[in-house]
Structures are given as structure tokens and as C-alpha cells.
Amino acid sequence: CQAHHRPPGDDVADLGDAWVERPFHLESSLDEIAAFYRRVHEAGIVPISCGGDHSVTLPILRGIAKDRPVGLVHIDAHCDTGDDYLGSKFHHGAPFRRAAEEGLIEPKRTIQIGIRGGINDPDVWKFSHDSGMRVVYMDEFYERGVKWAIEEARRVVGDGPVYLSFDVDGLDPVYAPGTGTPEAGGLTTLEAQLLVRGCRGMNLVGGDVVEVSPPFDPSGNTALVGATMMFEILCVVADAVARRKRSNAS
């Protein structure tokens, strides 16, 4: 793994796709994905996943957090805590509102880093603030720096189980243009890598990379960045699994 990280070890495997039989029926698609992740969770497997848009994180959390809510480190340009949009509560702009309402995440143990961009509703992220989520707008991140953001994330999530969700549009589009809702003025790839590496030592129970759209970037750079971030997440999650195993053995 990168820098000072330990290798992820031999207990890593590709489980294939969470195949959806009814992709044109939104609610049942989410149910099918959740069922896949329940089987994964019940088998004692800690998942690292790739989307898809950010709506896929909701059924993943339904599968792995049904027994107890988890904290959340969420790196993104958007809070994704909106509400009904074009007649549906389930879309890529609302997964963490739904997750909080369903008791899958603990808002007061949730931090959202890199938030920015133009909005057409001044209250679009109101749910994040009202529920107690820690919202780190890009201005604050820029002023205080990546080391501060890591410490703030550690403070917010504490020692309990935590999920790490990385939306590639958290990056500035000069690094990752292949995404559906790019926002100028974002993280560099190095800042993102350092943020993920700073999660080492957290009680991580899974992670994902979402919103990579290779056709939007013929250069292939966004796909490379997405794969790189998945590798970084794999390293810190594998470290968390190893720590739990050592703790249970002692």
C-alpha cells in the first residue's frame, strides 16, 4: 500500500457485482442491492464497493448497518441530504438523509468534507446541519488544512463503527472530470489520499467510491483516480479488520 501503510493481506477477494434483476424499478433495485450486502455482512465480510451513483450507498448501509447505526466519513462536493426530487425520495442527492431517517447512520458521528458548489435552494443542506452532522465546507478545509480535517474527522466519529464514502466529485474536476456533477474548487488527489490515509485507526466497517463515469473522461484519468482511491480505502479498511482480529484474539 501507499506510503507507510501495511499491505492489505491475503484476505481480499472480488465478490463480483451486486446484480440487479429489476433495474427499471427503483425501490426494488435498492432492495436487491441491500439483500446482497446483508449476505456479505452475515458472512463476516467487510465490503469495499464502487458505484454507480451515490444512491447505492443507502442499500449498502441497509445491508451492513441494520443491527446498529454507524458513523460516517463522507468526502464529497455535496452533502447528499436533500429530499424529494422529481417525485422520488431515492436518488443520488438524498442517500444520507434517508440513511439517517432509517437509523443506519448516526448524524452526530457524521462528517462531510469538501462541500461546495452553486445551489438553487439556500436550505438544500439544512438537514445536515439540523441533524447534527459536521459539515466542512471547502473554504474551511482550505483555511485549516488536511491535517486539521483528519483530526476533526477522528473527533467526530470517535471509536464506534464507521463507514467511509468517497464521491469522486469531491475532487476538483481538473483531477476527475468524468463525473455527473463536477464542482470547481475541490480537493486535489493528494489531499484526498491523505484524508483517506488519515482514517487509519478508525473502526472502519466498509467503504465505497461512487460517481465515476468513464465515458465522460476519454483520457481514462478519472477511472484511474477512482481505482486509486479504492485502493487507499482498501488499505485502511484492511488495517481496521486486522486490528479487530488482534483485539478479539487477545
Write down the pTM of the prediction.
0.94
Asked whether residue 125 carries a pLDDT value surpassing 80, the answer given is: yes
pLDDT the model gives residue 167: 98
pLDDT at 171 over 90: yes
Banded model confidence at residue 5, pLDDT cuts 50, 70, 90: low
Q: Mean pLDDT for the chain?
A: 93
pLDDT, residue 226, reads 97
For 36-61, b/e burial (b = at least 16 CB within 10 A) is bbeebbeeeebbbbbbbbbbbbbbbb
Residue 150 predicted with pLDDT over 50:
yes
Which 3-state string (H, E, C) describes the chain?
CCCCCCCCCCCCCCCCCCCCCCCCCHHHHHHHHHHHHHHHHHCCCCCEEECCCHHHHHHHHHHHCCCCCEEEEEECCCCCCCCCECCECCCCCCHHHHHHHCCCEEEEEEEEEEECCCCCCCCCCHHHHHHCCEEEEHHHHHHHCHHHHHHHHHHHHCCCEEEEEEEHHHECCCCCCCCCCCCCCCECHHHHHHHHHCCCCCEEEEEEEECCCHHHCCCCHHHHHHHHHHHHHHHHHHHHHHHHHHHHHC
Confidence of residue 3 (pLDDT cuts 50, 70, 90): very low
Q: Which residue has the higher pLDDT, 40 or 7?
A: 40
CA dist., res. 206 & res. 242, Å (int): 13
- In tens, the pLDDT along 23-45 reads 888 899 999 999 999 999 999 99
Closest by CA to 76, choosing from 208, 217, 223, 203, is 208
**Predicted confidence (pLDDT) per residue in 217-236, tens digit:** 999 999 999 999 999 999 99
CB burial class (10 A; 0-12, 13-18, 19+) of residue 122? Answer: exposed
Count of CB atoms situated within 10 Å of the CB of 101: 14
